Structure 1
Amino acid sequence: MAVQISPSILSADFARLAEEVAAVGNADWLHVDVMDNHFVPNLTLGLPVVESLLKATDTPIDCHLMIEDPDRWAPAYAEAGAGSVTIHAEAVKAPVRTLRQIRSAGARSGFALNPATPVEPYEDLLGEIDMLLLMTVEPGFGGQPFLDVVLPKVRRARSLIAAHGGQVWLQVDGGVSASTIERCAEAGADVFVAGNAVYGADDPARAVDHLRALAEKASPLIA
């Protein structure tokens, strides 16, 4: 099991997006938050920007859809070439069908839960997903403080994943920084979304390496 760092471009300078992406060429993924001002109270970017980003980088794109009606829109992001497409439990109406459509289009299927959404009701979906995303802030805006209350859920999710064969990645998103990533790794997360902790640093690439090293040191998943 490898630790993976996915810098969130929500914290990047949108006027210099191609340069900001190039600045974290050592990252495992690029996390792209798609928000529609309906499911969450913010409006960011959509499919055309993702298509442009795919032309500007070889780093795989990790699309996090914080939108209404992901059943309609998610497959298009996979078809465009995103490496991973994540939909929210609170928004999707036909999760099995949509997750399978994401996979059939060639992307990894992700399933996200807000902080107050329990993981146990979705245990039967673990066979349909490649990554479970647990939000560690309320979705919608970057720069929020990390919610420690989610850590027990991270531990429970890791136990459920292990019981099903351990093939699902466990991602955390929100408030992940040098002061919180070790707690997330110790609880069982292995994919880490970091926005301000990367793009707010003087050297974003060095910040990626530092976060990865901290997570690797704390993770019980790495022998």
Structure 2
Amino acid sequence: MDKIQFSPSLMTMNLDKFKEEISFLNSKVDSFHIDVMDGHYVKNLSLSPWFIQEVRKVSHLPLSAHLMVDKPDYWVDQLIDINCEWICMHIEVLNGIAFRLIDQIHEAGLKAGVVLNPETPIDVIYPVIDKVDKITIMTVDPGFAGQKFITNALQKIVDLKELRHMHDYHYLIEMDGSSNRQNFKKIAAAGPDIYIVGRSGLFGLSESIETSWNLMTKDFQEMTGLSLQ
């Protein structure tokens, strides 16, 4: 089995411990997940390309930008300018611009992903499925942390794994939303490649990031029976 990957959602970290938490996680996780919200696609504002540049000062890991925005082309240009390794866009706003933006990201030497809301079926991404490097399945509605887990969204992970095997596609499968002790067993049964962990699964477990990490890994192994080595 391929190594299980974790990508902490920095929107949910303790920003007053920015350097401490990222410095600790640098040796533990595989990437950092950074939500970029414009206040329009979702009714919230969050992190920005400037924040990504700040993370770069203290981390060597790949950074994955999740664009919850109405106009992804505007943000893609900015993220290419700062060389963000992964640029992930909601398929719901890509009609008419998906191929152009994916090609633009690839031409810059970066990786392109698409994100599906819980109610969005996977057939919507079939036109670009052979071009993307990552597919993120939302198991909560986008825009706010701490929402109720939507179990039936996990079937899309199962279906995407089958499609990848059948057609030799190269994308990674990522899940985003309430990845924590309560849901680890269900998520692991579906089998994503990357788990995004936020406040309920990691940052909110303790005031200490080291203690939080140890609790999260203990929870994951107890609930799934899987090793993280």
Structure 2 length-normalised TM: 0.87
Contact residue 186 and residue 218 of structure 1 kept, 8 A: no
Structure 2 unaligned regions, length at least 5: none
How far is the alpha carbon of 1:101 from its aligned partner? 1.3
- SS of corresponding position for 1:81: coil
Matched, 1:109 2:112: yes
1:83 deviates by 1.9
2:34 aligns with one of 22, 26, 32: 32
Q: Distance in 2 between matches of 1:14 and 1:159?
A: 39
Q: CA deviation at 1:35?
A: 0.7
Q: Distance in 1 between matches of 2:166 and 2:77?
A: 29
1:151-185 Cα offsets, whole Å, 9 max, x none, are: 22221222222222142110000011122123222
1:92-150 deviation digits (Å, cap 9, x = unpaired): 24111111211222222110000000001312311110100010000001111211021
Alignment partner of 2:75: what SS? helix
SS in 2 for 1:45: coil
List alignment gaps of at least 5 residues for structure 1: none
Quote the RMSD (CA, aligned, Å): 2.2
1:168-220 CA-partner distances (Å, limit 9, x unpaired): 1100000111221232222131111010111012223324544664697459x
Higher relative contact order (CA 8 A, sep 6+): 1
d(CA) in 2 for partners of 1:98, 1:131: 14
Q: Where do 1:43-192 residues align within 5 Å?
A: 43-93=45-95, 94-192=97-195
TM-score normalised by length of structure 1: 0.89
Instruction: Kindly tell me the number of residue pairs found equivalent between the two proteins.
Output: 220
Q: In structure 1, what is the equivalent of residue 6 of structure 2?
A: 5
Q: Match of 1:193, SS?
A: strand
The letter of the residue matching 1:180 is N
Decide whether the 8 Å contact of 1:3 with 1:216 is kept in 2: no
The answer on whether the counterparts of 1:35 and 1:45 sit within 8 Å (CA) in structure 2 is yes
2: CA distance, partners of 1:92 / 1:24? 33
2:202 matches 1:198: yes
The structure that has the greater radius of gyration is 2
